[in-house]
């Protein structure tokens, strides 16, 4: 992998990640961009204990432009985009419309490929390994920022999820706090260790593989399963078999084995609803340990959660009164049935 860092016209950082070591990136951003102005602030909910980002400037962000106006495509034929070069493998840049900014964290956009008309599932294993390298490198770099507690790499795919740009891309949020979901996980891990002396992530993985009814696929280094209490119609959790706190700690074997496993899961998701069905909308989310809680990092288990809001062809799972109002999920698809279907559509 070759990494090249540069700056866009308004001062935002842009990093190219290339497969070939001899790739040269020299194109400059000629756009007359004004400085980035944000209104992002973090407010604390005293009743729930949650932190909420208030970011009104995001109302002006680009919304579903036609393909020939996509800001994530390379700059070509006199049309200048967020990527000054005429091609790229993987590119990462600071979001022009960040939810988090300044002393309140950082938001980055990860462009998985220069090809606008493809998806992550269409990438090669070599290219997927490069994306993993980019996620890992950005996690390392962002973890050193003084305001950052936790780094979150994720992809939203599909307009049903709320995606505003169709180009294959994801995001990285560097939070200035530990997220509520991670805090709940850490609390559960602590309670489980107090009660049993064991690690909760290890026990969950062992129980799922031992039961087998919800296992989706398994290799020497990775295991994917539908969780016992899945929140979403089709939801898969992907664990490295050797527990580590974050992407930085993955060993060489797990890193080498990840691309084939992850691509297979994404391709199965696109086959869930049968031939001719539109691409399955999904969220793919890496859960990593906070960097500012050293006593709890050792017990955390890095894992990826992949889920869709589509519950059946033509029907979506909306968050209704129980979910949105009380955070009590009601799942229409039994996890065992979801796992069976995901095994049926294996390559």
Q: Which residues contact 233 (CB under 8 A, 6 or more apart)?
A: 307, 308, 309, 310, 311, 312, 317, 331, 332, 333, 338
Distances (CA, A) of 135 to 164, 174, 198, 229: 21, 12, 30, 28
Catalytic-role residue among 57, 80, 169, 303: 169
Phi, psi for residue 160 in degrees, rounded to 5: -65, -25
Question: Do 33 and 10 meet the contact criterion of CB atoms below 8 Å apart?
Answer: yes
3-state SS class at 197: coil
Decide if 193 is catalytic.
no
Rg of the chain taking only CA atoms, in angstroms:
20
Encode burial over 237-249: b for 16+ CB neighbours within 10 A, e otherwise.
bbbbbebbbbbeb
Name 292's bridge partners: none
Query: Is 116 annotated for ligand binding?
Result: yes
* Rounded CA separation 302/238 (Å): 9
Distances (CA, A) of 163 to 58, 65, 159, 170: 13, 11, 5, 10
| Tokens encoding 71 | 């800001």
Q: Which residue from 301, 299, 303 is spatially nearest to 193, judged by alpha carbons? A: 299
Tokens 């490295």 belong to 240
3-state SS class at 247: helix
Question: Do 18 and 2 meet the contact criterion of CB atoms below 8 Å apart?
Answer: yes
Query: Is 192 annotated for ligand binding?
Result: no
3-state SS class at 323: helix
Q: Which residue from 281, 289, 19 is spatially nearest to 131, judged by alpha carbons? A: 19
E strands of 60-211, at which residues? 90-94, 106-111, 150-157, 169-175
Query: Is 73 annotated for ligand binding?
Result: yes
Q: Which residues are annotated as a binding site?
A: 70, 73, 116, 167
Q: Which residues are annotated as a binding site for Zn(2+)?
A: 70, 73, 116, 167
Q: Which residues are catalytic?
A: 169
């Amino acid at each position: 992998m070759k990494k090249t860092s540069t700056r866009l016209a308004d001062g935002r950082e842009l990093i190219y990640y290339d497969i070939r070591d001899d790739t040269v990136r020299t194109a400059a951003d000629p756009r007359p961009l004004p400085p980035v102005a944000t209104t992002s602030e973090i407010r604390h909910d005293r009743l729930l204990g949650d932190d909420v980002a208030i970011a009104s400037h995001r109302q002006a962000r680009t919304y579903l432009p036609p393909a020939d106006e996509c800001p994530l495509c390379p700059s070509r034929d006199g049309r200048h985009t967020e990527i000054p070069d005429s091609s790229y493998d993987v590119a990462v840049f600071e979001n022009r419309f960040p939810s988090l900014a300044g002393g309140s964290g950082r938001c980055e956009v990860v462009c998985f490929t220069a090809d606008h008309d493809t998806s992550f599932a269409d990438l090669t294993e070599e290219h997927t390994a490069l994306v993993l390298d980019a996620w890992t490198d950005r996690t390392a770099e962002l973890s050193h920022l003084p305001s950052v507690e936790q780094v979150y790499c994720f992809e939203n795919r599909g307009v049903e999820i709320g995606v505003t740009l169709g180009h294959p891309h994801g995001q990285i949020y560097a939070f200035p706090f530990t997220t509520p979901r991670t805090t709940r996980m850490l609390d559960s891990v602590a309670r489980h260790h107090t009660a049993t002396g064991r690690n909760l992530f290890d026990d969950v993985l062992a129980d799922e593989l031992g039961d087998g009814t919800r296992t989706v696929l398994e290799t020497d280094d990775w295991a994917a399963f539908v969780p016992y209490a899945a929140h979403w119609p089709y939801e898969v959790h992907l664990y490295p078999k050797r527990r580590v706190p974050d992407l930085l700690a993955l060993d060489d074997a797990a890193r080498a084995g990840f691309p084939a496993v992850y691509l297979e899961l994404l391709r199965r998701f696109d086959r869930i609803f049968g031939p001719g069905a539109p691409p399955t909308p999904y969220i793919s989310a890496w859960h990593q340990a906070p960097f500012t809680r050293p006593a709890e990092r050792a017990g955390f288990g890095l894992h990826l959660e992949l889920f869709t809001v589509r519950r059946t062809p033509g029907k979506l799972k909306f968050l209704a009164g129980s979910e949105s109002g009380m955070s009590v999920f009601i799942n229409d698809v039994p996890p065992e049935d979801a796992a069976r279907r995901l095994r049926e559509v294996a390559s």
